[in-house]
Amino acid sequence: MPNPTVETPPGANPPESKSKPGIAGALRNIFTADDPDPQKAIARRRRFVMAGILGFLGVNLLMFLRFFFPRTLFEPKTKFLIGYPSDFGFGVDTKFQNQYRIWVVRNTEGIFVISAICTHLGCTPDWKASENKFKCPCHGSGYDPEGVNFEGPAPRPMDRAHVEVTPEGQIEVDLSRLYRWPKGERSEFNDLGAIVRV
């Protein structure tokens, strides 16, 4: 307990200074040895060391989590050419299913590309030509020839990939740009690039 009657020496910090100390000041405060209560000085130092350790481990955890998200992928190309519009007749064409996991569909409006991923849980549905529908083998979702769901647990029609005609006249598909029609929302199927009108 400092004696209030004694004047504080000019070098020492006045105890009632409210201004925030800088980092150097804070460190000096933590590691100062001449505290009237040595227990408090020890507790301060321990808190500092513990904060350092926890901070280090926290940063390590963030690094650990980031590690699981690779920068480079060795996956199939998402942008590719599938041929000329005249190659596709009316109806569903399954010839790219194995290579690119897509179906090319032509109807009276034009040619569009369905991403062959069931909107329920991501299996590949089968094209049943005799029943004129897509049927998912995993949980039984059914889609009509334009990929619109009509039975089973699927929540929305299958997504369509971006298509455009290159200057050479071929159709280029971009699977990384998808057009969706979530239930109760606006259909993106008529957007520019969702369909090649021929």
Partner 1 sequence: MADGNETNGASGNGAGDPGENGAAKKSPVTVLVEGAKAVKAQAAEEIKALKQPEKTDVWKSVLRVKHDETPRSRALGVLSNVFLHLHPAKINRDAVAYNYTWGMGGMTFYVYITLVFTGTLLMFYYHPSKVVAFRDILYLEHDVPFGKLLRNMHRWGAHLMVIMVELHMFRVFLTGSYKKPREFNWVVGVILLVLTLLLSFTGYLLPDDQLGFWAVTVGTNMARATPLLGHDGPFGRQFGMTPFNDVRFGLLGGSIVDSNALLRAYIWHCVAIPIIASAFMVVHFWRVRKDGGISGPAPVQLESEMKEPRKI
Strands 171-179, 79-83: pairing is: antiparallel
Distance, CA of 157 to CA of 194 (rounded, Å)? 14
185 is a site residue for partner 1 (CB under 8 A): no
**Strand ranges inside 25-182, DSSP E:** 79-83, 91-93, 102-106, 111-115, 126-128, 133-135, 142-143, 149-151, 160-165, 171-179
Which residue is listed with tokens 């006249």? 169
41 is a site residue for partner 1 (CB under 8 A): no
12 is a site residue for partner 1 (CB under 8 A): no
Question: Shortest distance, CB of residue 138 to partner 1, whole angstroms?
Answer: 6
Structure token digits, residue 127: 């094209």
74 is a site residue for partner 1 (CB under 8 A): yes
Question: Shortest distance, CB of residue 137 to partner 1, whole angstroms?
Answer: 8
Q: How far is CA 22 from CA 29, 40, 44, in A?
A: 10, 21, 17
75 is a site residue for partner 1 (CB under 8 A): yes
List beta partners, residue 142: 135, 151
Nearer to partner 1 (CB atom), residue 75 or residue 168:
75
Which residue is listed with tokens 């040619």? 111
How many CB atoms are located within 10 Å of the residue 131 CB?
9
Nearer to partner 1 (CB atom), residue 68 or residue 167:
68
Question: Shortest distance, CB of residue 22 to partner 1, whole angstroms?
Answer: 29
Nearer to partner 1 (CB atom), residue 44 or residue 101:
101
Nearer to partner 1 (CB atom), residue 138 or residue 165:
138
Give the sign of the dihedral formed by CA 118, CA 124, CA 127, CA 131: negative
Distance, CA of 148 to CA of 169 (rounded, Å)? 28
Q: Which of residues 116-145 bind partner 1 (CB under 8 A)?
A: 121-123, 138
Nearer to partner 1 (CB atom), residue 50 or residue 198:
50
Q: Which of residues 52-71 bind partner 1 (CB under 8 A)?
A: 65, 68-70
Nearer to partner 1 (CB atom), residue 9 or residue 74:
74
Instruction: Select from 12-20, 25-33, 86-94, 115-123 the region that touches partner 1 (CB under 8 A).
Output: 115-123
**Which residues of this chain interact with partner 1, rule CB under 8 A?**
65, 68-70, 73-75, 121-123, 138
